[in-house]
Structure 1
Amino acid sequence: MQQDLLITQLCQGNEKAFERIYELYSRSIYGIIFSIIRDEEVSEEILQDVFLKIWHEASSYDPEKGRFFTWILNITRNASIDKLRSKEFKNSQMNVKGEYFSDILESGNAVTGKIDAIGLQKYIDILGPMCKKLIDMLFFKGFTQKESAKELQIPLGTVKTRNRMCINKLRANVINQ
């Protein structure tokens, strides 16, 4: 079935067209969501929400304003970012141990081998445990500095200072190598 016809039928409320759109785009959309969220279960929930939104708002798609995939991509990105910023999601991520990042980097698993293979392990080894925790929380888990201070039970100013020192140490080591 030609894509333009499929999109037209979707906009007219055709369920078969919607099923075909799902078959064509769901894997790509899931990949985009997962790259933002990094949680399989939550990504699957968002995928369903995105396709419900596509179904309910299909008539608002305007080919004059852009490609269909771009329209879907914007819905996906917005839904993912909304979830990422939600209090519920942030709270669920705070429950993940702060040691997760350092445990992965320090364990002898395949991830460590891949990190070492591209030369990052020597830079990570230089960082102390607090730097690893801060970098994990602030850059990988999306905590704010205030949330990190609360989780680590240290003053906000200390988090800011340590973060700056850790990043500077990492930067200096990478540049000087």
Structure 2
Amino acid sequence: MATQKVKYSEEDLVASLKRNERAAFDYLYDHYSGALFNVVCKVLKDSERSEDVMQDVFLKIWKSIASYNSEKGRLFTWMLNIARNSAIDAVRAEGRAPIMDDIQEHSAWADQSAVYQPSLSTLDLKALVEKLRPERKILVDLVYFQGYTQEEVAEKLSIPLGTVKSRIRTALQDLKIFFAV
């Protein structure tokens, strides 16, 4: 028996998730788990541990989907923050800090291929982040993909915390504009 592929708009997907529909959760996992796993792996540097954290990530998403507010951001961004924060918590529970790679690797991180290929929209995170100015791209990578706090980034890169915060805020605004285009 052939299974019918269901496609959701983001709004329909969120509504279905809030109604605890199994098909919507399966769709969410199929379309987003690859990208979220990449984020968790970048922070943890351990694929086996990342798999454990991913179970927690999707459990948190399922339990807290009712608190998701589309006016505050896109579903993927909300889930990305859950994944990133869960990975950071796992690193800190091990009593270590996230490992900072060579800074040149940060500027080239967008060259790595992502598993995430959404059919919800034309979102291509790699291409969108690639459009950012280099100083913003590095900060987005460090904070959202490597798991550093803004304070840690300011210290590691020897730039003022206010500069880090404003560049990240501007980068997120730019990404929002890029996504709308």
TM-score (norm 2): 0.48
Which structure is higher in RCO with an 8 Å CA cutoff and minimum separation 6?
Answer: 2
Which protein has the larger Cα radius of gyration, Structure 1 or Structure 2?
A: 1
